[in-house]
Amino acid sequence: MHLSKAQCQALLPASRADQVNACSDVFVDFAISDSAGVLIFESGDKNFVAPYVKNKELRRAQSKDAVTAKLLSNPLPHGLHSTMQGGSYSHERFISVDQSNESVVLDESIIVKWQLTAQKSIGAHKEEILTENGFTYLPALLGNIYWDKKLLASINKYIPGTSDGWTWCVEKAKENDLGQWLDDLAHLTKEMHRCLEGLIHGDFHVGQILKSTQNNQLWVIDFEGDPLAVAEEATDSLRDIASMCSSFFHVGAVAISYDANSEMIKEWILQAETIFLTKYFDGSEFDISALHALMRTLENRELKYADKFLPQWRYAPEFAISYMKELGYGSN
């Protein structure tokens, strides 16, 4: 099957459609019916993954199509392999928070994260290491879906009654809350680095931290890493720390956009950073100048990311860069 550029773009999440700049051939079609399945198509040097439906036109599956639910409720098409036992699912809903990949909740019990491209997954490897080492802040890894040893989707237990940091942490900022949550976040981070055995999260920010609305338990998700990162950062735990501290600035920008007092928020950002670093390093020496310089570097990348994929987010890195300049971060 030959696809036009427009068809290829219609098969990707809207925020990623511009990654296809030419027409393509379908590499493989894992059909689950006459009108639905999972396509893998080539564009450039990438194999894109697309749950699809095909009625009058070919397009990416939406929650109303229940393609993911149907796929996991039946034997997988030949060529796909899952490390999770099958089940029976009827309802699905998409998670709307921007992520590098697309996540679907099935029957409020499991969450399936579709990869944008089929490739060997460092994220799945990290989750396996964490699980083996008894890390308790990870929603249980239930299995993965593979094609030719390449990850297509990961499947985790869904934790109901949680919100991510772009909700709960923004509320902390608006309330000027600098309490127990920072201790808990620092402890989670230390345990994560200990259990990862030299690896790092790679895209560590408050949006990757879920918090229970019932008991304030924290969980961390999405270990695929930052696609804009450079190779030498892959095992440097300071990158995770810098990324988390930078996200406090983003939280502040969001809170200010909700009419929180800007001076109070700026002070909250500094205090949150200080408490988090103090709790994480616990008396161990670290290079604060190097940390702040890395934060500035990450913000420049975040601005490029916003320009390319999420222009409505541009105000957050712009605020962070401006305030970091005011503080003298990265000026030495």
Contact 52, 38 (CB under 8 A): yes
Distance of alpha carbon 1 from alpha carbon 17, whole angstroms: 19
Surface-to-core class of residue 136, CB atoms within 10 Å of its CB (0-12 exposed, 13-18 middle, 19+ buried): exposed
Torsion of CA 319, 314, 247, 132, to 10 degrees: -170
Tell me the one-letter amino acid at 49.
V
pLDDT at res. 98: 56
Contact 225, 119 (CB under 8 A): no
Condensed to tens digits (0 to 9), the pLDDT of residues 213-250 reads: 989 999 999 898 876 565 555 568 999 999 999 999 99
pLDDT at res. 16: 83
> Can you point out the beta strands (E) in 158-293?
162-164, 209-212, 218-220
pLDDT at res. 92: 95
pLDDT at res. 30: 96
Helix (H, G, I), strand (E, B) or coil at 28: strand
pLDDT at res. 55: 87
Sign of CA dihedral 198, 203, 22, 9: positive
Sign of CA dihedral 307, 308, 312, 315: negative
Distance of alpha carbon 28 from alpha carbon 26, whole angstroms: 6
Condensed to tens digits (0 to 9), the pLDDT of residues 58-81 reads: 999 999 999 999 999 999 999 999
- Within 10 angstroms of residue 249's Cβ, the number of other Cβ atoms is 27
Helix (H, G, I), strand (E, B) or coil at 27: strand
Query: 3-state SS of the chain: helix, strand, coil percent to 5?
Result: 45, 25, 35
Contact 9, 20 (CB under 8 A): yes
pTM for the full predicted model:
0.85
pLDDT at res. 229: 61
Q: Which among 104, 281, 130 is positioned nearest to 220, based on CA atoms?
A: 130
pLDDT at res. 250: 98
Distance of alpha carbon 216 from alpha carbon 130, whole angstroms: 21
Contact 43, 26 (CB under 8 A): no
Residue segments in the chain with a per-residue pLDDT below the cut of 50: none
- At CB < 8 A and 24+ separation, what contacts does 310-318 make? 310/15, 310/98, 313/98, 315/253, 315/257, 316/249, 316/250, 316/253, 316/254, 317/250, 318/253
Distance of alpha carbon 63 from alpha carbon 213, whole angstroms: 25
For the chain, the first-to-last Cα distance in angstroms comes to 56
Tell me the one-letter amino acid at 122.
I
